[in-house]
Copies of this chain bind each other. A is one copy, B any other.
Amino acid sequence: MTYLEIKVPLRWADIDGYQHVNNAAMLTLLEEARIAAFWASDVVAEDPGDGAGVAEGAGGTGEGDDAEARDAGHPARRTALLEAGPGASTLTLIARQEVEYLLPIEYTRVPLTIRMWISHIGGASIDVSYEVLLGEVVHAIAVTAIVLVDAATGRPRRVTAAEREAWARHVAPPVEFRHRR
């Protein structure tokens, strides 16, 4: 299994009156990571592999790009298949989210590292698991269930064979929540 890792910069406005990243802003940060990893891009990246792109880390090492990934020529693009922006053929609707905030995040200009993997592939949906890191320290964990919806009909549509294949090497068990009741 290979992680998908995205660097997501905070914005000053993500900080609330407690001087931490607001709990709702955290979901916006996860959304940005998810879009970078899974939506087909309209970016002509001049410098793929830079901070704004998607890197793949070897599972469990936290080492950043692995050699295989690097050789394959920006392989993260392989996961970014969903034509899901406005006017596109697929909508990615959020069915559920679960987040545990382990440590408050103060304002920093160091981007967060959002490490993702796919913890379930269903008929018309996927679950994405996340670890949100600042440096090496996990500050939050989360899971999002995403339903793929056909924009024309408004109804769920099947995960395609191409998607399933592109995503297969990023599948692993879900992040373990510690405080579920």
A residues in contact (CB < 8 Å) with B: 9, 11-13, 15-19, 22-28, 31-32, 35-36, 39, 41-44, 47, 50-52, 85-86, 91, 93-101, 104, 106-111, 119-120, 127, 143, 145, 174, 177, 179-181
Closest to A92 in B: B18
Beta-carbon contact of A95 and B101 below 8 Å: yes
A8 smallest CB distance to B (angstroms): 9
- B residues in contact with A44, CB < 8 Å: 110
Complex copy number for this chain = 4
- CB neighbours (8 Å) of A95 from chain B are 100-101, 179
Q: Quick one: which of B23, B86, B174 contacts A27, CB cutoff 8 A?
A: B23
